[in-house]
Homo-oligomer: A and B are copies of this chain.
Amino acid sequence: MKQFTAVSDVSDPIALAEEALAMKADPFGSKALGQDKTMVLLFFNPSLRTRLSTQKAGINLGMSVISMNAAQGWQLEFEDHIVMNTDKAEHIREAAAVVSQYADIIGIRTFPSLTDKVKDYSDFIINRFIQYASVPVISLESAIRHPLQSLADLVTIKEQTTKARSKVVLSWAPHPRALPQAVSNSFIEWMQAAGMDLTITHPKGYELSRDFVKDTPVEYDQQKAFEGADFIYTKNWSSYDQYGKVLQQDSNWMITPEKMALTDNGKFMHCLPVRRNVVVGDGVLDSPQSIVIEQANNRTYAAQAVIARMLRW
């Protein structure tokens, strides 16, 4: 595997999830694979879970891992044929090629601008990086996708049930700030690829990109969507149509025990961090239905499965 940025980079997402579960059962069984290999993780945006879990994954595989906050003091130019006489000190062509000299695998985290939809949805930072990198690149969340999260989500679902086709609901929930659509976009494409029975529910105005939604049903009545669900996956996102806007923070969309009661003893999932009593009530998060911590735990093994494939590449 030369890049891991989207479900389309993986021919067999379910097999990859199963590899992750095998890693979980024997975390140190493939330590020889990473011997004398170095992974460099570049964070253009802050990260806790992704940073710790990906670093742990590399360590479990016997690699050396170097994490770097690239945010400060490393302004990159991404456009070609530019006279670089302003604030950008380095061009992506050199940056990506140079980091490739020191790494066997590169991980990159970048967030969207939430102001320039066309640029964000071209996912240009990670794509430009891949274009000029000479080693495999892993997305640690890009402007429009978070594939390590989605793989961990799939791993978690596979771990919880033997059903091949679970009823999964992706539900918008309120949040005071404008958040990217990355986790939601990514979750949708992975659930589609894994053959899940996915329904999306959100208030009007929060429609996600048709390129991701495709023929997945959208149900504007949240409670109706929850009926009989096996998994409730909750996430806030800002508007795609009125790009990057917070249209409303209607607390009626918060996930509550009452709504969870509509499901078929459904599990509650969230990528974290989560704002309690805004996105979801304490009563849900602190109940046995919540599997958010196990989901976070599975981030390690999802990353480990991806890195292992790259090391074998």
Contact = CB atoms under 8 A, between A and B. Distances in A.
Interface of A: 27-28, 36, 38, 40, 46, 48-49, 51-53, 55-56, 59-60, 64, 66-68, 70, 72-74, 77, 80-86, 88-91, 93-95, 97-99, 101-103, 176, 249, 272-278, 282, 285-286, 292-293, 296-297, 299-300
Contacts of A273: 89-90, 94-95
A285 B90 CA distance: 13
A285 B88 CA distance: 17
A72 to B, nearest CB: 7
A275 B85 CA distance: 7
A102 B50 CA distance: 11
A237 to B, nearest CB: 15
Contacts of A297: 101
Given A51-B68, A97-B293, A101-B297, 17 more contacts: A38-B59, A40-B52, A48-B98, A52-B99, A53-B101, A56-B102, A83-B276, A83-B277, A84-B276, A84-B278, A88-B275, A89-B275, A91-B274, A93-B276, A94-B292, A98-B296, A101-B300
Contact of A102 (B52, B66, B274): B52
A55 B48 CA distance: 19
Nearest to A54: B102
B176 A77 contact: no
Contacts of A72: 46
A51 B176 CA distance: 35
Contacts of A40: 52
B101 A296 contact: yes
Given A40-B52, A52-B40, A59-B64, A77 B296 contact: no
A102 B299 CA distance: 9
Contacts of A68: 48, 51-52
A248 to B, nearest CB: 13
Most central of A74, A90, A103, A299 by chain B CB within 10 Å = A90
A37 to B, nearest CB: 10
B53 A94 contact: no
29 contacts: A27-B36, A28-B36, A40-B52, A48-B90, A48-B95, A48-B99, A52-B66, A53-B102, A80-B282, A82-B276, A82-B277, A83-B277, A84-B276, A84-B277, A85-B249, A85-B278, A86-B176, A89-B273, A89-B275, A90-B273, A91-B274, A93-B276, A94-B272, A94-B274, A94-B285, A94-B292, A98-B272, A98-B296, A101-B300
Nearest to A55: B66
Contacts of A81: 277, 282
A153 to B, nearest CB: 15
